[in-house]
Structure 1
Amino acid sequence: MRTVRRLETKDRPLRAGAFPPVRELAVAWALILAIAALAWVLTVDQARGTGVGPGTMGMGLPLFLLLWPAMMAAMMLPSVAPVAVTWARGIARRSSGAGRALRTAEFLAGYLIAWTGFGLLAYGGLVLTGALVDRDPDAGKWIGATAFALAGLYQLGPLKDICLRHCRSPLAQLMRYAAYRPRLRDLRVGLHHGAYCVGCCWALMVALIPLGVMNLAAMAGVAVLIFLEKLWYRGPQLARLAGAAFLVLALLAPFQHWLLPGLSSPMPPM
């Protein structure tokens, strides 16, 4: 009973002591870090060729759906690594190092599938905002204000709090996943946890519309914010502080166009 109470603690992130020694799960950690590093390399390379601007920046849906999971892997895997490693700990007794790596990869695949589903909505939003800005460049300031306001209000709302509590303390839920049938279990666990993560962080991705979906500085800032929200002991307070900051940006956006690089048409070459 004492263990169960500790696993169901809602106000603290996963404790370092809850994980096995890193040397026991070196393969899982190495896999996650390698995927995140490669994803950042691919994202930076694509951003250099795409630039920052409104809409899809010339990307069709197939290319976007190849790039979006890479972006999510770069931004999200550092914060989801403790959960993936904890899940690997649960299967370590029945798996070799290579087996843990394979099953961890399946967990991560499910996680990224959840974010890819959201990517379809993101693409639709980019197409719409790009069309509106092309039709009326002045619309960008109101789109930006709306996006910042939506992000701020969600950060301060109850659904954010529910999903963030799950992402910070998922151990009790991981224990329930052990009852899943073995077939595709790791994929389903990753998909389910990824759905909670989408619920926690989707509004931060909406804030990237005015900041620039391919704005590397904005992406890095959001990634750090997500990491701290999930793993820092003051993460919930930081989430609320970020929400207040987004509301301030919503008030400033109609008057400060420099806050909206993702909704400003690039200057034509001289």
Structure 2
Amino acid sequence: MRQSRAATAPVPLRPGNLLPARELGVAWSFMVLIALLAWLLTIAQARDMGIEPGTMGMGVPLFLLLWLAMMTAMMFPSVAPVAVTWVRGISRQSAGAVRAARIAGFTSGYLVAWTAFGLVAYGLLAATGRLVNDHPDAGRWIGATAFALAGLQQLGPLKNVCLRHCRSPMGQLMRYASFRRWARDLRVGAHHGLYCVGCCWGLMIVLIPLGVMNIAAMAGVAVVIFMEKLWRHGPALSTVVGVALLILAVLAPFQDWLLPGLDGSASPMQPMS
């Protein structure tokens, strides 16, 4: 019995677990480079927009474009090992160009899942923006609610299930191999993306009180997501972050500095010299 449990215990997907270090390193470095370019684009946009409540005057198409850039910046470093492992597992003898196309299909599907969540985020931002404009004091309670929901999600069962999948996806990836070949990479990426949304949506909604274009907050969330998925103490970190968010929920109604994304007082960021 002990041997059986040990054999089926989840093994976090980390560099070197399943792939040649050189191959994983090159693919991961390329995806991190794409993430870096997305960060530069997001920072450049944030310098002009500042931190304001709501959607900051953006329509749905423009918001989704910016959202995709944000998700690419924040998520690609942690999803790269999964994408490369999937492609490596099903196309061992394929040329590099074929593998690159498969990785592109996987990451496109992954971003489709996050784009769907982006529509939900846009609706939440639009609603909170209108509410804060009509009732400025409501921002305190919106912020407290966002922190509380995020904290509860961090400590809840859905987080645990989705985080286990994101840390050790090999069982699910083996099931994906039976999918029909038509758009398989895209569908596999979307399916994994849904698990990632289930794992990280709580961390994303803290950007409502902290500010969607708050670069420091985005970077902090990205670091937490990365460490939760790839660090060996990721599950413990998830619990610590959940408790911290619940503490922020208690403090938010009395500490305006925790709510830069809901007070509308922050001015646009000045260009860097």
Match runs of 1:247-266 below 5 Å: 247-266=246-265
> Matched residues in 2 for 1:98 and 1:34: separation?
18
> Matched residues in 2 for 1:268 and 1:104: separation?
40
- Specify the alignment match of 2:35 in structure 1: 36
- Specify the alignment match of 1:52 in structure 2: 51
**Amino acid aligned to 1:163:** C
- Specify the alignment match of 1:88 in structure 2: 87
Q: Does 1:130 align with 2:135?
A: no
**Amino acid aligned to 1:39:** A
- Specify the alignment match of 1:99 in structure 2: 98
Q: Does 1:158 align with 2:139?
A: no
Q: Is the 8 A contact 1:9 1:169 kept in 2?
A: no
- Specify the alignment match of 1:182 in structure 2: 181
> What whole-Å deviation, never above 9, does each CA across 1:49-101 have from its counterpart, x for those lacking one?
11111001111111001111110010011111111111121134242111111
> Matched residues in 2 for 1:6 and 1:40: separation?
40
Structure 2 segments unaligned to the other structure (5+ residues): 269-273
Report the 3-state secondary structure (helix = DSSP H, G, I; strand = E; otherwise coil) of the residue aligned with 1:224.
helix
- Specify the alignment match of 1:219 in structure 2: 218
Query: Alpha carbon RMSD of aligned pairs, Å?
Result: 1.8
TM-score w.r.t. length of structure 2: 0.92
- Specify the alignment match of 1:72 in structure 2: 71
> What whole-Å deviation, never above 9, does each CA across 1:135-159 have from its counterpart, x for those lacking one?
0111100000000000001111111
**Amino acid aligned to 1:116:** T
Report which stretch shifted further, 25-34 or 239-248: 25-34
- Specify the alignment match of 2:115 in structure 1: 116
Q: Given the superposition, is the C-alpha separation of residues 5 and 92 from structure 1 closer, same or farther in structure 2, using an over 3 Å criterion?
A: farther
Q: Given the superposition, is the C-alpha separation of residues 142 and 57 from structure 1 closer, same or farther in structure 2, using an over 3 Å criterion?
A: same
Q: Given the superposition, is the C-alpha separation of residues 26 and 14 from structure 1 closer, same or farther in structure 2, using an over 3 Å criterion?
A: closer
- Specify the alignment match of 1:9 in structure 2: 9
Q: Matched residues, percent identical? A: 68
Report the 3-state secondary structure (helix = DSSP H, G, I; strand = E; otherwise coil) of the residue aligned with 1:16.
coil
Q: Is the 8 A contact 2:51 2:266 kept in 1?
A: no
Structure 1 segments unaligned to the other structure (5+ residues): none
Report the 3-state secondary structure (helix = DSSP H, G, I; strand = E; otherwise coil) of the residue aligned with 1:18.
coil
> Matched residues in 2 for 1:267 and 1:69: separation?
24
Report which stretch shifted further, 40-49 or 192-201: 40-49
> Matched residues in 1 for 2:158 and 2:75: separation?
19
> Matched residues in 1 for 2:23 and 2:51: separation?
42
Q: Given the superposition, is the C-alpha separation of residues 108 and 5 from structure 1 closer, same or farther in structure 2, using an over 3 Å criterion?
A: farther
**Amino acid aligned to 1:83:** V
> Matched residues in 2 for 1:65 and 1:14: separation?
30
**Equivalent residue pairs, number:** 265
Q: Given the superposition, is the C-alpha separation of residues 256 and 26 from structure 1 closer, same or farther in structure 2, using an over 3 Å criterion?
A: closer
> What whole-Å deviation, never above 9, does each CA across 1:12-61 have from its counterpart, x for those lacking one?
41143323224335653343123211211111111111111100111111
